[in-house]
Amino acid sequence: MTVTFKDVKADLLDKIAQGIMAPGTLMPNEMDLAERYGCARATVNRAMRELADEGIVERKRKAGTRVRKAPIRQARFSIPIVREEIESKGSEYRYALIDRTLQDVPDWLRGRLALKPGQEVVRVVCMHWADGIPYQHEERWINPEIVPAVLEADFSANGPNEWLLAEVPFSNAEISFMAVEATQDLADHMGCFAGNALFRTERTTWLKETAITFVRLTYRRGHRMTTRY
């Protein structure tokens, strides 16, 4: 059986976990490891590159590879579409549009989206339910310059999220997580009391330096966002 990069990676990880290679240790170079494992250097390279990507080790040319003293712990969250998030839990999804207006971009948003004063944006407010219980409140602003079709889009049946995904194939984004106290309006929609703590995510999405949309998703009371790493 030939030695795979997964074998090498697993063995290195094991040595790190067992303390055989303590944090701060300088690891052997790729050529030596390749010889030791009886494989090609490329195989060792792949294993160590993945360890580096995961923040376990730190690689520098000439300096070599070290076990990180404080591993960069990183968590990966998948950002699902609400409908799928709800249906994957076996719940029934329901959607309703609350408001849809064309308005001058508010000042606080202008900075975020890097828009010109007086420019118009589409604001959409809607709700998502799981089994008839309020699940998520969505408030979104869309830049019609990039996505002119939004001016004709009808969000009464489907949320703007799925619609946008179809229109804008790929983009980069900045996302924030936070806790907020429910306003009276939010509380009415979410079926809780004003002042209750709610989990919120805010996301700005860009297509090559120009902002497409800013969205504020507020979850029902007690919601948790969970992941493993």
Contact residues for a copy of itself, defined by CB under 8 A: 13, 16-17, 19, 22-23, 55-56, 67, 70-79, 81, 84, 162, 165-166, 169-181, 195-200, 207-208, 222-229
Distance of CA 31 to the CA centre of its chain: 38
Task: Give me 100's structure tokens.
Answer: 């849809």
Shorter beta-carbon distance to a copy of itself: residue 46 or 110: 46
C-alpha 213/C-alpha 92 separation (Å) is: 27
214 touches 202 (CB < 8 A): yes
Strand partners, 203: 175, 215
Residue 28 CB, nearest distance to a copy of itself (Å)? Answer: 18
Shorter beta-carbon distance to DNA: residue 43 or 204: 43
Rule CB under 7 A: is residue 138 a binding residue for DNA? no
Strand partners, 96: 127
Task: Give me 59's structure tokens.
Answer: 């690689």
Look up residue 18 and give its DSSP letter. T
Owner of token pair 């699940």: 135
Residue 225 interacting entry, from DNA, a copy of itself, none, C-beta within 5 to 8 Å by type: a copy of itself
The site that binds DNA (CB under 7 A) totals a number of residues, namely 28
Owner of token pair 């508010």: 106
Residue 27 CB, nearest distance to DNA (Å)? Answer: 7
Rule CB under 7 A: is residue 13 a binding residue for DNA? no
C-alpha 193/C-alpha 93 separation (Å) is: 23
Alpha helices in 115-183 (DSSP H): 160-167
Site string for DNA, 45-64 (x = CB under 7 A): xx-xx--x------xxxxxx
Residue 153 interacting entry, from DNA, a copy of itself, none, C-beta within 5 to 8 Å by type: none
Residue 191 interacting entry, from DNA, a copy of itself, none, C-beta within 5 to 8 Å by type: none
**Which residue ranges make up the site for DNA (CB under 7 A)?**
2-7, 27, 29-31, 38-43, 45-46, 48-49, 52, 59-65
